[in-house]
Amino acid sequence: MSIQQDIIQKLGVQPHIEVKEEIRKRVDFLKSYVLSAGVDGLLIAISGGIDSAVATGLCKLATDELSEEKGREFKTVGVFQPYGEQVDIADSYAVAEAFALKYRVETNIEEAVNEIALEAEYGLKSIGVHRHLSRAGKGNVKARTRMVVQYALAFELNLLVVGTDHASEAITGFFTKYGDGAVDLTPLSTLNKRQVRMLAEELGVPRSVLDKAPTAGLWEGQTDEAELGITYEDNSDYLEGKQIAPEAQQKLERQYAKTEHKRSPIPGI
């Protein structure tokens, strides 16, 4: 088995999908888990990007169906988490409007992130390292702080936290360990970025979101493709078993090997 075939098998990506079937399968997955966990619904952070938009659409379908079937309310709570001023936050709200979210919460993480960064810098100083957190390091703090806030809300509301991880991120390890600080459910995990876009089109994700360059919002102007030096077109082709340029293939496979620890369970002895 080639490295490519091994990666595809481990990540569970299919070369072709039937969009309506995939939506149905993922909505049913969410419904089943909500019921088995005995919770009152789902929480999803809406960044304004395509991945969280698709996850929001799936969550809303799941909780609407559960509410109708069970005769009581199941919630999808959408959370907006700017760091200071988020220039594209209108896209986050457009997603909430597109899926008619009743429950919306905005939590600005700027003060919390800056305090954590300051404490970390004091810690560095205490061992003789005199510097500010790196740009990437502070980006990591932003991602994890967002998750702390999501779990604080989810605990109080008896909800499960839904993640947006998918195979095109998993192959590159482009997330902090277990996603951005871990989540309860990942309904997009076996899709590549192209397939996520296909679901987005079917679900009715706003055009302003569909047309955006993918970004984790870690710092101003950051984009996934620039950060990794790999296009999502090549990434998706690779995960569908297609041949791509040798340089792009080598980059993907090196990135996959380098980030294996992020996809593996926490080791113990």
Q: What's the mean pLDDT when you consider all of the chain? A: 93
Q: Decide if 9 contacts 53 (C-beta within 8 A).
A: no
If you ran DSSP here, which 8-state letter would residue 266 be given?
Answer: P
CATH class for domain 3-108+147-261?
alpha beta
Residue 176 has pLDDT above 70, yes or no: no
Element housing 100 (H / E) = none
For 5-41, write each residue's pLDDT tens digit: 999 999 999 999 999 999 999 999 999 999 999 999 9
For 102-146, write each residue's pLDDT tens digit: 999 999 999 999 999 999 999 999 999 999 999 989 988 999 999
Rounded alpha-carbon distances, angstroms, from residue 183 to 69, 96, 99, 165, 177: 26, 20, 22, 9, 11
* pTM of the model as a whole: 0.92
Phi, psi of 7, deg, nearest 5: -65, -45
The strand order across the sheet containing 75-80 reads 103-106, 75-80, 41-45, 160-162
Record the tokens describing residue 252, joined without a space.
Answer: 């993907």
For 147-173, write each residue's pLDDT tens digit: 999 999 999 999 999 999 999 999 988
Choice among 77-86, 160-169, 198-207, 217-226 with the minimum mean pLDDT: 217-226
Name residue, tokens 């966990």.
37
Structural domain boundaries in the chain = 3-108+147-261
Catalytic residues: 51, 169
Dump strand ranges (E) for 182-224. Answer: none
Q: How far is CA 144 from the centre of its chain?
A: 12
Measured between alpha carbons, how far is 170 from 164 in angstroms, rounded to an integer? 11
